[in-house]
Amino acid sequence: MIWQPTSGCGPHCYAEDGPRVRYALWRLPLLIGVLAVAALTVPVLRGAAVRLAARGVLASLGVRLQVRGPAPRAGSLLVANHVSWLDVVALLAIGRMRLVAKHDVRGWPVIGAMAAGAGAIFLDRSRPKTLPTTVAEVSAALRDGRSVAVFPEGTTFCGADRGRFRPAVFQAAVDARAPVVPVAIRYDSTAVAFVGAETLWSSVLRVARTRSLAMTVITAPALHPADGAVRGALARAAQSSVGLRSAPGRVADLGLAA
């Protein structure tokens, strides 16, 4: 299907310096502890517990998160490039928003529950006829003043290589007259890339073995759809903004290094 893009990234994209096994020995127990607490609290406390759990996941894995750029207002459509499953965790850590995620994520241990607890909109990419329903659900959430985050590339890329923003979900912003906030996600290592046919566990293990990781989430100024806005043009403008390496505004270092 044209809305099921594939990535040319794979194991050849990973950094050559290799993982450092000793870090996994103490990070994995920390991660398991965070996930165990999240499994108990997220279904009850939802939003607040989701953010705390997401920050705990990053901290346990030694991932330092920095957020730059203007804070999106409520009811915005956040559109981000996609590198890793950590992208989902980072977005859940920095703000209250719903995510559009592939339906496979629902079955991921705890992360699926965290996404569901944040009100995730799950998309079955194997059933193209459901796409208009998903777009309508996103539009309704935006009209209700809920921010929604989506990865318009449709799949993950290693960071050095990137896909194009698919325009379908931008129709939700056009219909709701909601601001579109381009979000650039950057890592200092390709070790985080979740690409090819690898399992979630193998990716988690590689991240846990890496000595230190830093990620930066950069929000660009919002794009405001005008009367007669075309979703394709909006997607191209957002993609261009995501290509920026910096953005003005606040700098909030969450200090999540383990």
Task: Identify the pLDDT of residue 161.
Answer: 56
Q: Please report the pLDDT score of residue 8 as a whole number.
A: 63
In this structure, the number of other CB atoms found within 10 A of the CB of residue 251 comes to: 12
Examine the pLDDT at 111 and tell me if it is beyond 90: no
Give Cα 206 to chain centroid, integer Å: 19
* pLDDT for res 227: 84
Q: What percent of the chain is modeled with pLDDT above 70? A: 82
Residue 252 placed within a domain: no
CA-based nearest residue to 16, from 161, 189, 204: 189
What CA–CA distance (Å, rounded) separates 135 from 232?
15
Give residue 5's pLDDT. 61
Which residue segment(s) compose the domain that 159 sits in? 20-245
Both tokens of residue 248? Answer: 């003005």
Quickly state the pLDDT bin for 2 (edges 50, 70, 90): very low
Instruction: Extract the tokens encoding 233.
Output: 């043009």
**Within a domain: 6:** no
**Residue-wise pLDDT tens digits, 149-200:** 999 988 777 765 577 888 999 999 999 999 999 999 999 988 888 877 788 8
Distance CA 136, CA 80 (A): 20
Residue 8, in any domain of the structure: no
Sheet holding 77-80, edge to edge: 121-123, 98-102, 148-150, 77-80, 180-187, 213-219, 63-68, 251-253
Query: From CA 186, how far away is CA 189, in angstroms rounded?
Result: 9
pLDDT of residue 249: 39
Rounded average pLDDT over 61-70:
94
Region 204-231 average pLDDT: 90
Helix residue ranges, H only, the chain: 22-45, 47-60, 85-94, 111-117, 131-143, 170-176, 200-209, 231-242
With respect to residue 12, please indicate whether it lies within any of the assigned structural domains.
Answer: no
50: domain CATH number is 3.40.1130
**Arithmetic mean of pLDDT over the chain:** 82
Does some domain include residue 104?
A: yes
> What pLDDT sits at residue 224?
93
Q: Establish if 42 belongs to a structural domain.
A: yes
Give me the number of domains the chain comprises. 1
pLDDT over threshold 80, residue 229: yes
Identify which of 69, 121, 126 has the alpha carbon closest to the alpha carbon of residue 100: 121
Mean pLDDT of 203-210: 90
Cβ atoms of residues 146 and 95 within 8 Å: no
Residue 48 placed within a domain: yes
Least confident of 40-44, 83-87, 109-113, 216-220: 109-113
